[in-house]
């Protein structure tokens, strides 16, 4: 291939990418600025992959496939995420997807595979392709003279451009807007990556993602991960952060005495109920069961609910109802002691620490 052919290929690619971004921006204006079912599913999948929550990821993957995501779209997102949350979590997520697909197949569900990625041009100058892609995402010209971390460690600059922004972002299964949305969702779920999240928010806006959609994403991050992480995204959007501790938060210590002959059975049921409550109920901050060393049948449970409504909702859940009906005959005595925090400011710090 001649130098002229190589240059022509690069500029042809840039032209196509420009059309792609303009088309995505037009589509974004047409959908009213709210997240559709595909985007909500992708947000949950990306966030839970980034945090390594496999149990909830299985639920999100199942919901995403039900919402119409193709197998290849989900695979592509999970492959891309290795660049942001590491190979282990990306591989774990791909294995989880395989498991979910096998379960769905056993139920007679046939999921659409979707289109395969077009081959990346082998003769293209990958560094230049990645450089042009990054320029289009950021809207800024890439200087030939490196600075900052790219000057300090030139290899990272090469890897980012040749691999992430050329090899991965050039694959056409997902659009630039979809890729940036996946990236923002993952980074929003991860503590300690604010500079990278801020950079990708800017890139996401350039591909047509609106601030209303990003604010809606913050609500999804709060539901799937926690309020502290959602507040990081809200802060970068210059939006009000929500209080980690609500005014009607309920804090309680349950003092329970269990009949000795039922202790082992009761402990197993309680452990399962506490685990389910914390995992699936956003309003359950903590259910922490303990027993007295000298009197193992004397159980103490520290319970923290985000609000009175969260507590009322908890009482109606199937796992709590199962706990209540199954253990009623095992309980010799029960005392519920409602508590008030002496130092709410320190409590806020505790919740922030737990979310790291």
pLDDT of residue 228: 86
- For 137-159, what is the mean pLDDT? 88
Q: Is 54 in a helix, a strand, or coil?
A: helix
pLDDT digits (tens, 9 = 90+) for 197-236: 999 999 999 999 999 999 999 999 998 988 889 999 999 9
pLDDT-based confidence at residue 349 (cuts at 50, 70, 90): low
Strands (E), the chain: 250-258, 284-291, 298-305, 331-339
pLDDT of residue 245: 65
**Exposure string for 232-245, b = 16+ CB within 10 A, e = fewer:** bbbebbeeeeeebb
- For 150-173, what is the mean pLDDT? 91
- For 39-47, what is the mean pLDDT? 97
CA 277, CA 289: separation in Å to the nearest integer? Answer: 12
pLDDT-based confidence at residue 2 (cuts at 50, 70, 90): very low
pLDDT of residue 279: 84
pLDDT digits (tens, 9 = 90+) for 242-275: 877 677 889 999 999 999 999 999 999 999 999 9
Domains, the chain, in order of start with CATH, read: 3-236 (1.20.1290.10), 250-340 (3.30.70.100)
CA 302, CA 131: separation in Å to the nearest integer? Answer: 54
Do residues 18 and 136 lie in contact, with contact meaning Cβ atoms separated by under 8 Å? yes
106: Cα separation from own chain's centroid:
27
pLDDT-based confidence at residue 33 (cuts at 50, 70, 90): low
Enumerate residues 6+ apart whose C-beta is below 8 A from 317. Answer: 276, 277, 280, 281
Enumerate residues 6+ apart whose C-beta is below 8 A from 283. Answer: 305, 306, 307, 309, 310, 311, 313, 314
pLDDT of residue 249: 86
Do residues 334 and 256 lie in contact, with contact meaning Cβ atoms separated by under 8 Å? yes
- For 317-323, what is the mean pLDDT? 96
């Amino acid at each position: 291939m001649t130098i002229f052919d190589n240059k022509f290929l690069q500029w042809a690619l840039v032209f196509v990418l420009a059309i792609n971004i303009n088309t995505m921006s037009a589509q974004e204006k047409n959908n009213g600025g709210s997240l559709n079912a595909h985007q909500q599913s992708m947000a949950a999948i990306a966030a839970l992959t980034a945090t390594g929550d496999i149990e909830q990821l299985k639920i999100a993957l199942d919901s995403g496939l039900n919402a119409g995501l193709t197998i290849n779209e989900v695979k592509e997102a999970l492959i891309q995420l290795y660049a942001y949350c590491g190979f282990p979590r990306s591989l774990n997520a791909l294995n989880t997807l395989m498991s979910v697909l096998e379960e769905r197949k056993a139920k007679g569900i046939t999921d659409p595979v979707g289109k395969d990625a077009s081959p990346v041009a082998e003769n293209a100058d990958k560094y230049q392709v990645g450089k042009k892609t990054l320029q289009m995402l950021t809207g800024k010209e890439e200087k030939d003279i490196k600075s900052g971390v790219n000057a300090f460690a030139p290899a990272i600059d090469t890897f980012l451009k040749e691999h992430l922004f050329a090899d991965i972002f050039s694959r056409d299964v997902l659009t630039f807007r979809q890729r940036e949305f996946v990236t923002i969702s993952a980074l929003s779920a991860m503590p300690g990556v604010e500079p990278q999240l801020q950079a990708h928010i800017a890139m996401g806006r350039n591909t047509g993602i609106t601030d209303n959609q990003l604010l809606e994403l913050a609500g999804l991050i709060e539901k799937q991960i926690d309020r502290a992480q959602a507040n990081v995204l809200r802060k970068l959007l210059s939006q009000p952060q929500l209080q980690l501790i609500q005014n009607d938060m309920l804090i309680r210590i349950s003092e329970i005495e269990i009949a000795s002959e039922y202790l082992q059975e009761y402990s197993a049921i309680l452990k399962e109920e506490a685990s389910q409550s914390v995992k699936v109920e956003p309003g359950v901050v903590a259910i922490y069961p303990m027993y007295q060393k000298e009197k193992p049948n004397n159980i103490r449970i520290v319970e923290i609910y985000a609000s009175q409504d969260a507590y009322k909702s908890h009482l109606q859940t199937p796992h709590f109802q199962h706990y209540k009906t199954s253990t009623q005959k095992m309980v010799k005595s029960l005392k519920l002691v409602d508590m008030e925090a002496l130092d709410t400011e320190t409590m806020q710090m505790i919740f922030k620490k737990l979310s790291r």
